[in-house]
A and B are shown apart, each in its own frame.
Chain A
């Protein structure tokens, strides 16, 4: 039981993520989480203002059900399958973050400095979450996929466009973490 309650090692987690892709392909679908954002736009009537959202979203309900399951899975994992072990971060990372004003790194999944209700009441905190969401939503659709669609499915099927997209993900991520985050915090 300890094996389940403790964080899972990368060499178990990676193949399990691939099995999510394999299961969806077995069911005749593809693994792509960002498509749901487009579906939600369509459901809310975005097809009236942009052709991109004019499609039969009912065919995408299965993917929204995956989302619902993922939310439930997140709940189950934290409430029933976890102990209170901390994320085993590199001590250098923890010190670095401490110097930027992040306390208790690894005690939670996301920093309270960004996600707590207190952080939300500051204009800066709210702006960061909105900006981050906008970038993810815009970028992922522009690139035609996210980590699941490009990094996992696209690279597993040896597709060049996905390799270009993943290189883009890393260029953006490296710039944000190494150069922009230190300016923000």
Chain B
């Protein structure tokens, strides 16, 4: 897990995405969401079973030689590649970029993230079921925003704007964390400046500057996107 003190290279899309991905479970945990690991565990089980088969074959081949292991080699190879295909299927079609799955008082949520090659925009697919699950159908929304929203120009992740963005865009996160819901009032490129100046946010922003601005005073001034 990375925290606000880890500095990343702002031009590395992988760094931007991974750092942001790591911030999601932290944030959700702070909202008393319980993370559900089932899909990850299934993938790990498939993968490690395949590796175990291959490891066993390697060991017996090494100890006893080809003549002894020959009859077992074909079944082992077939089983390995079946498991390996299932693993890939699970990774690409079932998990499909999911970085968080969890459940809280306000509902269930699954968050999958991606980026397009060389474009520093965080693409997020959120599937959520507001509580109570019995009376609400699951909904899927796609939200996207530039990473500049929560990274300072010198590469520090700032949690507050990220949490505000998530809470404002995803209803069940907003319901769990009303203090982070901010309204977009739509005044073009100056929106953020105006938001920064509103009374409701002032204390938050100040705190934000105190904590995030630690490494250098300049960063806070430049963070206007």
- The answer to whether A and B assemble together is no
Interface residues of A (CB under 8 A from B): none
Contacts from B to A (Cβ < 8 Å): none
